[in-house]
Amino acid sequence: MEAGARFAFLILITLVFFSCRKKDDPVVNPAPDSPADTATAGEPNFQLRLNIQNMAGNQPLELEQRWYVTENGDSIQINEYKYYLSNFTLIGDSVSYSEPESYYLIDQKDVASRSFTIDSIPAGHYKKISFLIGVNHERNTSGAQTGALDPMHEMFWDWNTGYIMAKLEGLSPQAGTFQGRIAYHIAGFSGMNSVLRTVTLEFPAPVEIKDGTIPRLAVKADILEWFRTPNLIKINELPVIGNTGPEAAKMAANYADMFTIVQIEP
């Protein structure tokens, strides 16, 4: 008897609850604004952990504290250093994997930004990793973005559309500018003006992606390469880059080879 009443009440509650889903959840347009979660529950999720170490020569880069000397003998101090790495691809003999929604903003001010994990990698042995320095053409031409690509990160031009692929700001007594400031905003995503550079790094030995272990890849990035090869930069001649063009392309050619693998922990 009591059980019957309780049962009837349960039905009533259920009815009310389900009949009002629309009110509780008035979603007109679930916007596709968050990166798709490609890992499906239950499936093993094979991963690779990356750590980017910004260096100046052989020393860890420090902002606003240390002076460094470029290839040309100019002194520089860095107070802002950010760049995009994107479109990560792992390549093996019989397997390869390109990460979807693969956009990372490396910010020297934010330790957490320098370590990230590539998810959902197919199991296998991989020999090299490649990525883009910058943000690909498509994301420069398809409207409002979010996450690492949010214009709030101040890596986006509002007057000449495009992401600042890499930004280096600081001081140099050789600059001859107001307060000796240097500022390199490297942008340009199409045609002659493109500064997009693909980096491919070969692993010293194949890396196995498998269940139960996450290999850790440490990559160093030497900021002094910006000023070294193939284009020797003299800061008194080029203290600022603020538009697309040959100078930005020159700088991109320089920093394209600043990455080297320092360590792989299987």
Partner 1 sequence: MKIQIVLFVLAVLAPAFIISSCQPDPEVLPERPFEFKTPKDWPQPFYRFEGNTLSKEGFDLGKKLFFDGRLARDNQTSCGSCHQPFSAFAQIGHDFSHGVDNRLGERNSPGLFNLSWHSSFFWDGGVNHIEIQPLNPIQNPVEMDEKLENIIGKLKKDDHYPQQFKTVFGDETISTQRIFKALTQFMGMLISDNSRYDKYMRAESGGALTEPELRGLNIFRSHCASCHKEPLFSDFSFRNNGLSPGRFNDSGRARVTLNPEDLYLFKVPSLRNLRYTAPYMHDGRFRSLKQVMDHYSGGISNSPTLDPLLKSGISLTETEKADLIQFLNTLNDEDFVANPLFQELK
Residues 6+ apart with CB under 8 A from 41: none
Residues 6+ apart with CB under 8 A from 187: 157, 160, 162, 163, 164, 165, 195, 243, 244, 248
Pick the closer one to partner 1 by CB: 206 or 245: 245
Name the token pair of 49. Answer: 């952990």
Pick the closer one to partner 1 by CB: 130 or 243: 243
Pick the closer one to partner 1 by CB: 230 or 246: 246
Number of H helices and number of E strands within the chain?
Answer: 4, 15
Residue 199 CB, nearest approach to partner 1 (Å):
26
Measured CA to CA, the distance from residue 193 to residue 143 in angstroms comes to: 20
Measured CA to CA, the distance from residue 69 to residue 238 in angstroms comes to: 16
Contact 88, 118 (CB under 8 A): yes
Residues 6+ apart with CB under 8 A from 89: 96, 97, 98, 99, 129, 130, 131
Residue 147 CB, nearest approach to partner 1 (Å):
9
- What residues line the site for partner 1 (CB under 8 A)? 1, 4-5, 8-9, 12, 15-16, 19-20, 22-23, 26-33, 140-146, 150-152, 156, 158-161, 243-245
Residue 144 CB, nearest approach to partner 1 (Å):
4
Pick the closer one to partner 1 by CB: 180 or 245: 245
Residue 162 CB, nearest approach to partner 1 (Å):
8
Residue 80 CB, nearest approach to partner 1 (Å):
16
Nearest to 129 by CA among 36, 258, 255, 260: 260
* CA 139, 201, 100, 48 torsion-angle sign: negative
Pick the closer one to partner 1 by CB: 41 or 144: 144
Pick the closer one to partner 1 by CB: 84 or 227: 84
Residue 8 CB, nearest approach to partner 1 (Å):
5
